[in-house]
Amino acid sequence: MKSKSDAMKDVGTVLDTKVYIEKRTVTNNDKRVQKETWDPYGEVWAQKNKLFGKEYFAAKSLGEEKTIKFKMRKGTISSKLNPVDFRMKVNEDGLYVIYDIKDTDPIPNSLWIVISGKARM
C-alpha cells in the first residue's frame, strides 16, 4: 500500500493531453529503395510539462529548448517506447505537433513514466 504522501503526489497529476504514439516501419520497394512510414501504435493520456529553470537553460545551451516532458502511466504502450522506432503526435490548438522521443525515464516505485520529446520543426 502507498504511503499518504505518495498517494497525494498522484492526485496532483492531471492527464489532460492525448498523445498518439506512432511506430516506424521501413519497407523496401522493388528497386530496393527504403521507404519509411509511421503507423498508429496506440494512444495514451499524459500530463504535458515544459522545461523550466536549470533544465530549460541547459537544454537551450544545446539548442533543444523545444523539449517537452510527458508524464504518463506505465503500461503496455509506454513501457515499449524507444527513441528509434517510435514518435509522439499531439494535437495542439487544431494542429498536430510531432515529437521525437529523446528519453524514457520510469519513476522508481511509482506507476508513472516520464518521456522527453523534442518538437520537430
The architecture that CATH gives domain 4-119 is: Beta Barrel (2.40)
**pLDDT tens track for 61-105:** 888 878 899 999 888 787 788 888 899 999 988 899 999 999 899
What mean pLDDT is reported for the chain?
A: 87
Percent of all residues in the chain with a pLDDT value above 70, rounded to a whole number: 94
Closest CA to 81 of 121, 31, 41, 111: 41
* 72 burial via Cβ count (<10 Å: 0-12, 13-18, 19+): buried
Per-domain boundaries in the chain: 4-119
Strand segments (E) across the chain:
17-28, 34-50, 67-73, 86-92, 95-106, 112-119
User: Between vectors from CA 112 to CA 60 and to CA 107, what angle results, nearest 5°?
Assistant: 65
Predicted local confidence at residue 5, as pLDDT = 73
Whole-number Å distance between alpha carbons of 49 and 27? 35
CA distance 88 to 116: 10
Handedness of CA 29, 81, 56, 50 (dihedral sign): positive
Give the pLDDT mean for 1-25. Answer: 81
